[in-house]
Structure 1
Amino acid sequence: MARSIHYRASVFGVLALLSTVAIWSAAAQDARAPDYEAIVAAPDRSDADRQTDQRRQPAKMLAFTGARPGMKVLDMEANAGYSTELLARAVGPDGVVYAQDPAALIERFVKDKFDIRAQKPAMKNVVHVIRNFDDPIPPDVSGLDLITFFFAYHDVTYMPVDRAEMDKKMFAALKPGGFLVIADHSARPGDGTSVAKTLHRIEESTLRQEIEAAGFKLASEAEFLRHPEDPRDAPVFHPAVPVDEFVLKYQKPL
């Protein structure tokens, strides 16, 4: 009986220690988290970006990604670099953000917009990666802490891109326990990818299936860009009502 009591006490002691370590670890992570509201309020951000803030809620998005100083981040389809700059500010000078764009997209849409933004001091820790979606990560880059893919996965569905290969490459580039945060404009149930080019929307369940097929596990989802009043049957540009958007956080298993 005494041995049994001693065994149970030991087990409880170990569990208590593990719980304490978990609390300490969480506290340490919270202590490293930057002031996201202050990042968004930085006086050297452009007026155009502040206009975009009104619909993108960047402080909440940054907090949801968990971007912290020192992280290695890949920003898929960086485009003009709105999100890239915010991530660069969050990871700080000891971190790095790889901003991916295919050459064809730069030539057709981005032009010199990213290069102009890249001259800002806040962008010193950014590397512009000109690579196709099928193979978006340079061979010397691995162990990423975070990948972001904001409001552009739907675009890839009507391009000549092997999305399964793209998703596998993102999965491989993350360190175990690393995260993929992906957000996009909601389509109606049953629309799948059929309205991606016309409405710039994608059905959430379709995106989930594709991402999860690569091995990602859903960790959490956010509601701060949800708009149930959106009928999801109109293009996302200049909508009559706010666009319903989903925000998902996936993790590469440990």
Structure 2
Amino acid sequence: MKARFLLSAAVLMLAACRGAQEPAEPSQATTQQAEPSRWDSIMEAVEDAERPEEDRLLDANRHPAEVLDFAGVERGWAVADIVPGNGYYARVLSTAVGDMGRVYAYNPSWVAERFGDADAALSLIADRRANMSHHVGDLEDFGASFDQPLDAVFMVLFYHDTGYDVTDRARMNQAIFDALAPGGVFVVIDHHAIEGSGLDAVETLHRIDASLVVAEVSAAGFVLDSESDMLANPDDPRDISVFAPQIRRNTDRFVYLFRKPQ
């Protein structure tokens, strides 16, 4: 009995010595560099040295990092930017979603025809980025040329324009809804018009009644998930053109996040 006890004690001592001399195998978490957080990815996109200086000068009033964070943008997402203009958001989104993500830069046909030079420039931007493609089509058929469901759709400072062109907004919103994956988001940013004015100011002042936007988008099946005042300006009277010198690039803007139910 005593011999068995001594043998057991020796085995325990040997195991203890071996544990002290041989460190434990490192865990996978300690051997791999941590993945960047969602906010880090967004800030990397905003601080991208390839962004044009004229875009950077707009950041103070447009808050692109906060907008992407509000939308929940993540690496690997498939995102569409409707009427990207000079590519302000398309560039940032392209970097933020990373190599495994996808950005569809989408111009309605009438925009591509009326602003041909800008559309051609957008095509060149897409050609230089492996995860971006350029598309032209009718908003009523939005998503028809995409090869996957979308995680997000951005429409920045354009919804009001659909109020005076030939766009069927009910069909447009339904097409956007159908293009999104369940749980996907539709981010709409535009210039506030006077409450209750409907479409009265869309062509003259380039503004739209926010409550009309909520009603129309919700009618397609979306749920208004959240809204932000990050682009609010209480000093904007809402009854002057967005191009008026005293308010240009500093209008009172609504920021809505609509979600397609799961």
TM-score, structure 2 as length reference: 0.80
1:52 deviates by 2.1
Compared CA separation, residues 47 and 238, structure 1 to 2 (3 A): farther
Taking the aligned partners of 1:110 and 1:53, their CA distance within structure 2 comes to 26
1:41 deviates by 1.5
Query: Which residue, out of 83, 86, 91, partners 2:89?
Result: 83
Deviates more, 1:196-205 or 1:137-146: 137-146
Compared CA separation, residues 240 and 39, structure 1 to 2 (3 A): same
Taking the aligned partners of 2:102 and 2:79, their CA distance within structure 1 comes to 6
Name 2:11's counterpart in structure 1: none
Q: Which amino acid aligns with 2:180?
A: L
Question: How do 1:152-191 and structure 2 match up within 5 A?
Answer: 152-191=158-197
Question: How do 1:47-196 and structure 2 match up within 5 A?
Answer: 47-111=53-117, 112-120=120-128, 123-196=129-202
SS in 2 for 1:134: helix
1:81 deviates by 1.6
Q: Which amino acid aligns with 2:140?
A: D
1:189 deviates by 1.2
Name 1:244's counterpart in structure 2: 252
1:199 deviates by 0.7
Question: How do 1:189-228 and structure 2 match up within 5 A?
Answer: 189-228=195-234
Deviates more, 1:238-247 or 1:126-135: 238-247
Percent identical pairs in the alignment equals: 37
Q: Which amino acid aligns with 2:251?
A: V
Name 2:41's counterpart in structure 1: 35
Taking the aligned partners of 1:76 and 1:147, their CA distance within structure 2 comes to 7
Deviations 1:99-144 (A, max 9, x none): 1102321232251321343354xx3211111111111212553421
5+ unaligned residues in a row in structure 2: which ranges?
A: 1-34
Q: Which amino acid aligns with 1:247?
A: V
Query: Is the Cα contact below 8 Å between 1:33 and 1:69 reproduced in 2?
Result: no
Deviations 1:154-194 (A, max 9, x none): 01111101100010011111111111111100000121111
Taking the aligned partners of 1:52 and 1:225, their CA distance within structure 2 comes to 12
RMSD, matched Cα: 1.9
Query: Is the Cα contact below 8 Å between 2:51 and 2:91 reproduced in 1?
Result: no
Query: Is the Cα contact below 8 Å between 1:79 and 1:106 reproduced in 2?
Result: no
SS in 1 for 2:170: helix
Taking the aligned partners of 1:239 and 1:204, their CA distance within structure 2 comes to 23
5+ unaligned residues in a row in structure 1: which ranges?
A: 1-28
Q: Segments of 4+ in structure 1 off by > 6 A?
A: none
Rg: which structure is higher? 2
Deviates more, 1:38-47 or 1:210-219: 38-47
Query: Is the Cα contact below 8 Å between 1:33 and 1:67 reproduced in 2?
Result: no
Q: Which amino acid aligns with 2:86?
A: A
Q: Which amino acid aligns with 1:176?
A: P
